[in-house]
Amino acid sequence: MRTECDYLVIGSGVAGLTFALEAAKHSRVTVLTKRSRTDSATNWAQGGIAAVLHPDDSFEAHVKDTLGTGGGLSHEDVVEMVVREGPARIRELMEIGAEFSRSEGEELDLTREGGHSARRVVHASDMTGREVQRALLAAAERVPNIDILEHHMAVDLIEQSRFGTPRRQVVGAYVLDEESGEVHTYLAQATVLAAGGAGKVYLYTSNPDVATGDGVAMAYRAGALIGNMEFFQFHPTSLYHPEAKSFLISEALRGEGGILRLADGTAFMEQHHALKDLAPRDVVARAIDYEMKRSGADSVFLDMTHLPSHLREERFPTIHAQCLRYGVDMRERPIPVVPAAHYMCGGVVVDDAGRTSLPGLWAVGEVTCSGLHGANRLASNSLLEGLVYGHRVAVALAHETALTPAGDVPDWDAGSAVPSDEEVVVSQNWDELRRFMWNYVGIVRSDKRLSRAARRIALLQEEIREYYWKHLVNRDLLELRNIADVAELIIQCAVARKESRGLHYTIDHPDPRAAFASDTHIERGVAAHIRGRH
C-alpha cells in the first residue's frame, strides 16, 4: 500500500503533537505511533515545564541556569530563543485545556528543581506529562486535518539517493502495520522525526518500553548528521524495588526539601557539591553511584519524613500512592532509590528551525541535538524544548517549498526473508546489549570499559544484521536493530571525547579540556569527531 500526505510525523509525544496542531492549520498531517497514541515518554514525565512565569524570575536567570548546567556546550543563541518562547507555548497549552496546579490564590503553583535559581517549573501535580499528553491528544482528535495511526512503526526513512537518484532527500518512510504485518510506503513533502529517546539501551531506565532510539537510528542509517550521543542523562532517583519497573521518583521531591541519605541516615550530598541535594542531576547520579559502590549498598534513600504532609500526599499523590503499593510509606520512612538512564541529550543535529542535514527531514524533541542541552540537560527543559521546537518547525515548513520525489520510489521488498524461526536470538542480544551498556558505558566510564563495549557491539551488530536481513520484520526485531545502532553511536562518541564534561565522566580523563569544548559529530561512513569550537 502507498499513502501520500503533506507531513509525516513519527511519534505522538509533546513535540510531535505540538507540531501537528500548528501544521494542521495549513496542511494535512499523518502521525504514526508504534503502540497506542498515549505510549510516549511525555506521558511518563513527572516534574514539569520550566519557563519564566513569575515577575521575580527573568529570562536572563533561566538562560544562565541552562548554560551553567550544559557543561559549556549549550548554544547560547538556542538557549535564549527557547527560554524566551517558552511562556507563550505554555499559555497555548492552557488555552487548549491543559490544567496545571495552582496555589490558593489561583496563581500557577511554580516549583523549583535541581540546577534552577528560582521557582519556575509549572506542573500538574506530579504527573505533568500525562496532563500535557491528554490536552494535546484531545485537541488533535478535534482537528480533521490530523490522522493518528496507532501500531504503525517506521522501519526506515526513504532517502532517494539509495535508489540511484542523484538528489539526496528524504521523501517519507517505510512503515510496518503491526496488525497486518505488512510494510507500507508513506510519501510526504516533509518527514518530521519526533520519536523520543533511547533509555532502553540501558539495563535500568526510567523510560517506557517504546524508548528504543528509533528516530536516531533511522536518521543515522539515512545519512543524517548525529551529535553528542555520549551525553546520556541518568536520573538520580528511581524507586528501588524488585517489582517496580521503571518508576521514577521525581527530582521535584528534592526541590521541595527531600534529603538523600545512606542506610545509617547520613546525608551525603554536601560532600559532593555546594548545592547539596539541589545539585545538577549528573552530579547527584555520580554521587549516588559512588556511595553505593563505596559501601556495597543496593540503594540510597530519599528522606521526606521531616516535611509537612501536604508536600508528600498533596504535592506528590501519584508517587505517594505508587510507593505505598510497594510497601514504602514516605510519611514514615525514606524511599529506597537508585539511578536510571533517563534522557538522551544528543541526537539528530538540527538548526534553530528543526532542519536536519538531509533535505525533507526535520526533527523535534528528545530525538534531536538542538544545542539547548549541551553536555547536560537542566531539569524540566525537555517538555519546554518539545513545545518550542514543535511550533517552530510547523511555522518554518509553512514557508518552505514542497519537496517532490525526484524519481520513482519503490515499495518495500522483503526479498527472500522468512518468518523468524529463533526469537531467542532477539531476546539474547537485547539482554546482553543492555547489560554491557550499563556496566561499561554507564554513569562512570573508562578507556578499558569503552574498549570492551566497542568489541561487544561489533560482534552483536554482525549477528543482528545477519538475522535482520534473513527474516521478516516485526517490532521486536526492529527495536533490537535500532537500539544496537544507538549503542554503537554512544560508544563511538564516548571514545572520541578524551575528557570528562557534563554527563560524560571517565576516570581516565577526569577533567574537562579546552580542546574538547565543542560538540561531537558522527555520520554514516565518518568516524566520531569533535567538530571544533561553536
Catalytic: which of 37, 89, 120, 281?
281
Q: What are 322-357's pLDDT values in tens digits?
A: 999 999 999 999 999 999 999 999 999 999 999 999
With beta carbons less than 8 A apart as the criterion, state whether 247 and 127 touch: no
What CA–CA distance (Å, rounded) separates 62 from 425?
A: 48
Please tell me the predicted confidence (pLDDT) of residue 152: 97
Q: Is the four-CA dihedral 186, 192, 195, 197 of positive or negative sign?
A: positive
281 is annotated as an active-site residue: yes
- Categorize the per-residue pLDDT at 318 as very low, low, confident or very high, splitting at 50, 70 and 90: confident
What CA–CA distance (Å, rounded) separates 484 from 291?
A: 31
Domain ranges of the chain: 2-231+345-397, 250-338, 424-528
Q: What are 78-124's pLDDT values in tens digits?
A: 999 999 999 999 999 999 999 999 987 779 999 888 789 999 999 99
- Categorize the per-residue pLDDT at 405 as very low, low, confident or very high, splitting at 50, 70 and 90: low
What CA–CA distance (Å, rounded) separates 318 from 277?
A: 22
- Categorize the per-residue pLDDT at 37 as very low, low, confident or very high, splitting at 50, 70 and 90: confident
- DSSP one-letter code for 59: H
- Which is higher by pLDDT, 241 or 408? 241
| Cα 101–Cα 107–Cα 113 angle in degrees, nearest 5 | 55
With beta carbons less than 8 A apart as the criterion, state whether 215 and 512 touch: no
Average pLDDT of the residues in 481-508: 97
Buried b (16+ CB within 10 A) or exposed e, 382-413: bbbbbbbbbbbbbebbeeeeebebeeebeebe
pLDDT at 524 over 80: yes
Task: Write the CATH number of the domain with boundaries 2-231+345-397.
Answer: 3.50.50.60
pLDDT at 313 over 80: no
Q: What are 463-494's pLDDT values in tens digits?
A: 999 999 999 999 999 999 999 999 999 999 99
Fold of 424-528: Methane Monooxygenase Hydroxylase; Chain G, domain 1 (1.20.58)
Please tell me the predicted confidence (pLDDT) of residue 532: 65
Exposed, middle or buried by CB within 10 Å (0-12, 13-18, 19+), for 25? exposed
Average pLDDT of the residues in 61-70: 96
Bridge partners of 384, per DSSP, are none
Q: Write down the pTM of the prediction.
A: 0.92
Average pLDDT of the residues in 365-369: 98
With beta carbons less than 8 A apart as the criterion, state whether 24 and 143 touch: yes
pLDDT at 72 over 80: yes
Secondary-structure class of domain 250-338 per CATH: alpha beta
pLDDT at 253 over 70: yes
Q: What are 426-461's pLDDT values in tens digits?
A: 999 999 999 999 989 999 999 999 999 999 999 999
pLDDT at 534 over 50: no
